[in-house]
Amino acid sequence: MKTLILSTADIKGMINHIGLDCMMSEMIHRLTQAFQSFDKQQTQVPPRSGFEYTQPDYGLLEWMPTREAGKTVTVKMVGYHPTNPQLRNLPTVLSSIGVYDTTSGHLIALADATFTTALRTGATSAVASQFMASPDSSKIGLIGAGAQGLTQLHALAQIFSIDEVFVYDCDPRVTKSFLDRAAFMGLNLVPFADNRLNQLVSGSDIICTATSVDIGQGPVFENHTTKPWLHINGIGADSAGKWELPLALLKRSFVCPDFIEQAIKEGECQHLAPEEIAPDLIEVIQNQHNYLFVQQQLSVFDSTGWALEDKVAVEMLIDYAKDLNLGTFIQLESISEDPLNPYQFTTVSDDFPESSDAIITPRSLTKEYLNLETTSQIPF
Amino acid sequence: MKTLILSTADIKGMINHIGLDCMMSEMIHRLTQAFQSFDKQQTQVPPRSGFEYTQPDYGLLEWMPTREAGKTVTVKMVGYHPTNPQLRNLPTVLSSIGVYDTTSGHLIALADATFTTALRTGATSAVASQFMASPDSSKIGLIGAGAQGLTQLHALAQIFSIDEVFVYDCDPRVTKSFLDRAAFMGLNLVPFADNRLNQLVSGSDIICTATSVDIGQGPVFENHTTKPWLHINGIGADSAGKWELPLALLKRSFVCPDFIEQAIKEGECQHLAPEEIAPDLIEVIQNQHNYLFVQQQLSVFDSTGWALEDKVAVEMLIDYAKDLNLGTFIQLESISEDPLNPYQFTTVSDDFPESSDAIITPRSLTKEYLNLETTSQIPF
C-alpha cells in the first residue's frame, strides 16, 4: 500500500505533454462540474485554520481540509510568506496537498500544490466570470500584475475572446515584466501607469484585482464610473483587514463569495452587512437561470480560496499521472502484517533495500496502478 | 530546496542500526527534555481537529499541529480506523507527519508517523511513570494487550527493573499472542484470565490500560483494592464517551492529563470536575520537587496523545536520517526562479528527468545535507 508522490518534475512532465492552455481549460471544466454537482451533505469543507506569526518574518501556515463522504479526505497545507520573493527568491505561496483514503486512513497521494494553487485560483475566477460577466467581455483590466495576475488572465483567455488587456501594477517594473511573462498568450497587452488607473477601471468589461496591498491600506483604486456590466474578480483580499475594492462600488454590486464563512472574515465581504452579500458561487452556478441578470449588472466575485478547488486540482493531477505514467510510489507508512504488533514490520525482509532506494522504478509503476485499479477499493 | 521523505524502509534502516531498545530510550530521553523545557510562549499546540465519520466504516482523520516560534510547524495527520485489523489486515492507526519551515513555508520533511505514534505513546507513559510511579515499581499490569500494550511495556522496560508483567486482554487469543510479541524483551510475562483481573489490579505497581473498549462500555476493570502507590497509565480513552477507569478510583487518584483541553473532552478527565483534575504533565515535570508525594499515592496519567510528542518523534527520525544517511530527497514544490511567474518553472530544464526518476541518489544525498547545513537557514 504505497503513497503516490507527485513532484514538480511530474507536473512538468504533465505540462510538457498536455500544454498549459489545455491544463487550464481542463481545470476550469472540472471546477465547473464540481461546483455544479457540489452537495454539502456529500462534501464537507470546514473553514481553513492555521498559524499566523511574525517570526522570523510575517507568515501564515494553514491547512485546508475537505472530506468527500465515503471516499477521501484532502488536506492542502499552504504557506503564505510575503517576504519570500525579496528575501529568498521564492514564491510567496508554497504548498503541498495530501489525499487520504477514509476507508483505512492511508495517505494515497502527496502532491505539490504550489503550481495548482496558482492554476485553480485563476480557473475559479474564470468559472465565476463565465456565470457573472457579460459573455461578450473582451476588455480585461488587471490591477496587480504579479503571479496571480498572470494566471487570472491565462484562465480568462480560455473562456473569453480577449481584445485588449489593460495591465497595471503599483510597481512599474512589475507592469513591464508582465508583458514578457504573459507574452506566451499572444494577447494585446496595454501597460497602464498610475495616472490612467481610472481609465483602466472605466474601460474594462472584467477586472481582476490581485494585489498585495497591506492590511488597512485598501482600496487599490478609487470609486469611479464603470461599464454597467463590469465584473470584478477580487482575489487579493485574504486576511482580516485586507481589502482591495472601494466600498461604494461593493455596495452597488452583486457580491458573490466563494465561501461565505471565509469571505466575511477575510474577503471583500468583511465590509458588508449580511443582506448586502449575494448568494455564493455554488448557488449562482447551480441555479444559473435565476442569476442571468447578474451578467448585465455590476458584479464582484469575492475569492478567498476554497479547499474544494484544491481537491479538484489534485484529483486532476492524479488522473494525469495515471494517464502519463508519472509519479513515484513510496511505501511511506510502516505497516506490520500483524496489526497487534507495531514492531513486526522491522523484522520482515521485503523487496526493497533499507535505505533511500525504496522507490519503485518507473517500469513497476504501471503494475502498481493496475494493481490499485483492479484489486483494491482505494480511490484513484 | 527539496523535501526529505522518510519511508518505512528508512525507519527499518534506522532500527537495524540503532536497535529498538536504544530508539525507545532515546525517545523517552528526548520527550523528557522537551517536557522539561516546554514553554508555551515558544511552542503552540492547539487541540487536534479533524473529520469523524461512519462511511464506509467508523473512522477519524485528524490533524495535530504544533508550532515552534521562528522555526517550524509540524502537522501529524492521523487516521483511526478500528475496523482496519479485521477487514483490511492493517493497523488501526495509520499516520504521516509533515515538518514545515516557518521562514518560507517549505515542506522540509514528510515522514511515516505510524511507527512513531506507537513509539511515542509508549515513551510518554514511561516519562509520566518516571515522575509519578514509585521508583521501585517492578510489577507491571497490562489491561489490553494489543499494539499499544506492547509499546507501553517496552517503554516501561527501559526505565524500571521489571520483575513480573501481568498480561490481560478481554480476548484470550490476544493475551496469548502477546507472550510471543513481547518475547524479545526477555521479561517474565504472566497471562491473566478474566476471573483473575482483580488480582492483576491489586498486585501491580504500574498498570497500563490500552483497550479498545466501546463508547459507553467502560470501565474495563472494577474498583478494587490496589497498592497505595499504584500508578496507572490510561491510554485508551481518546474520544467522547470512551473511558477505561472506574470513577471511584479516579476520584481518589492524582489524575494528571497530558493535555488538559483534550483530556476533558476525550480522556478520563471527562468525568471529573475541574477541581478533581491534577496539574498537567508539564507542570509535574517542570516542578518535580513539588510532586514527589505523587510517587507514594494513587496516580493516573490521562494520556490522550499530544502533538508535541509527535514533533519530538519526527525530529528524532530526521536526526537519525542525517546520521545514517537515510531518506530520499524530492523536489516536491514547483518553484519558479521568477516569483512573479508561477509558470516559469515549466520552461527551465533542470538536472533531473521529467518523470519519476526525480530522486536524488544516495550519494548526492550526503551533499544535500551538507548544503542544507552550511548554506541555508532551513532547520535540520
Give pLDDT tens digits for A82-97: 899 889 999 989 999 9
Query: How far apart are the C-alpha atoms of B230 and B143, rounded to whole Å?
Result: 14
Give the closest residue to A144 by CA, choosing from A237, A257, A31, A279.
Answer: A237
Q: What residues of chain B lie within 8 A of the CB of A11, using their CB?
A: 334, 346
Rounded to whole angstroms, the Cα distance separating B101 from B116 reads 21
Contact map slice: B 156-185 vs A, CB within 8 A: 174, 177-178, 181, 184
Mapping DSSP onto H, E and C, the string for chain B reads CCEEEECHHHHHHHHHHHCHHHHHHHHHHHHHHHHHHCCCCCEECCCCEEEEECCCCCEEEEEEEEEECCCEEEEEEEEECCCHHHHHCCCCEEEEEEEEECCCCCEEEEEECHHHHHHHHHHHHHHHHHHHCCCCCCEEEEECCCHHHHHHHHHHHHHCCCCEEEEECCCHHHHHHHHHHCHHHCCCEEECCHHHHHHHHHHCCEEEECCCCCCCCCCCCCCCCCCCCCEEEECCCCCCCCCCCCHHHHHCCEEEECCHHHHHHHCHHHHCCHHHCCCCHHHHHHCHHHHHHHHHCCEEEECCCCHHHHHHHHHHHHHHHHHHCCCEEECCCCCCCCCCCCCHHHHCCCCCCCCCCCECCHHHHHHHHHHHHHHCCCCC
Q: Is the pLDDT of residue A366 over 50?
A: no
Select the residue from B119, B332, B360 to test the A interface by mutation, using most A Cβ atoms within 10 A: B332
User: Measured between CB atoms, which of A20, A84, A331 is closest to B339?
Assistant: A84
Taking the alpha carbons at both ends of chain A, their separation in whole angstroms is 13
Per-residue pLDDT, A218: 84
Question: CA of B14, closest CA in chain A: separation in Å?
Answer: 9
- CB-CB under 8 Å, B84 with A104: yes
Nearest by CB to A335, from B114, B146, B358: name it.
Answer: B114
Does B69 reach chain A within 8 Å, measured CB to CB? Answer: yes
Per residue in A53-78, pLDDT (tens digit) is 998 899 999 999 999 999 999 999 99
Determine the residue of chain B that is closest to A61 in CA distance: B105
Q: What is the pLDDT of residues A219-245, one digit of tens each?
A: 999 988 999 999 999 998 777 888 899
| Comparison of pLDDT for A333 and A56, the residue scoring more | A333
- pLDDT, residue B214, reads 84
> What is the least distance, in Å, from the CA of A203 to any CA of chain B?
25
Quickly state the pLDDT bin for A349 (edges 50, 70, 90).
low
User: Tens digits of per-residue pLDDT, A245-267?
Assistant: 999 999 999 999 999 998 999 89
Among A100-109, A347-356, B24-33, the least confident range? A347-356
Mean pLDDT of A6-18: 96
- Asked if B331's CB is within 8 angstroms of A330's CB, the reply is no
**Chain A nearest CA to B229, separation (Å):** 30
Distance from CA of A336 to the nearest CA of B (A): 7
pLDDT of residue B349: 67
Question: What contacts 24+ positions apart, CB below 8 Å, involve B348-351?
Answer: B350/A9
- Chain B interface includes A351 (CB < 8 A): no
Alpha carbon of B172: minimum distance to chain A alpha carbons (Å): 13
Task: Give the model's pLDDT for residue B192.
Answer: 95
Can you give the pLDDT at residue B375?
Answer: 32
In order along its 380 residues, chain B shows pLDDT tens digits of 999 999 999 999 999 999 999 999 999 999 999 999 999 999 999 988 999 999 889 999 999 999 999 999 999 999 999 899 889 999 989 999 999 999 999 999 999 999 999 999 999 999 999 999 999 999 999 999 999 999 999 999 999 999 999 999 999 999 999 999 999 999 999 999 988 999 999 999 999 999 988 888 889 999 889 999 999 999 987 778 888 999 999 999 999 999 999 899 989 999 899 999 999 999 999 999 999 999 999 999 999 999 999 999 999 999 999 999 999 999 999 999 898 999 999 887 654 443 333 333 332 333 333 333 333 333 33
Q: Is the pTM of this model over 0.80?
A: yes
Supply the mean pLDDT for chain A: 90
The better pLDDT of the pair B364, A295 is held by: A295
Put simply, the answer to whether B8 touches A334 (Cβ < 8 Å) is yes
Measured distance CA(B248)–CA(B226) in Å, rounded: 12
Q: What is the 3-state secondary structure (H, E, C) of B260-308?
A: HHHHHHHCHHHHCCHHHCCCCHHHHHHCHHHHHHHHHCCEEEECCCCHH
- pLDDT for res B203: 97
The alpha carbon of residue B251 is apart from the nearest alpha carbon of chain A, in Å, by 32
CB contact under 8 A, B340 and A150: yes
Flag if B8 and A362 touch (Cβ within 8 Å). Answer: no
A327 touches chain B (CB under 8 A): yes
CB B261 within 8 A of CB B282: no
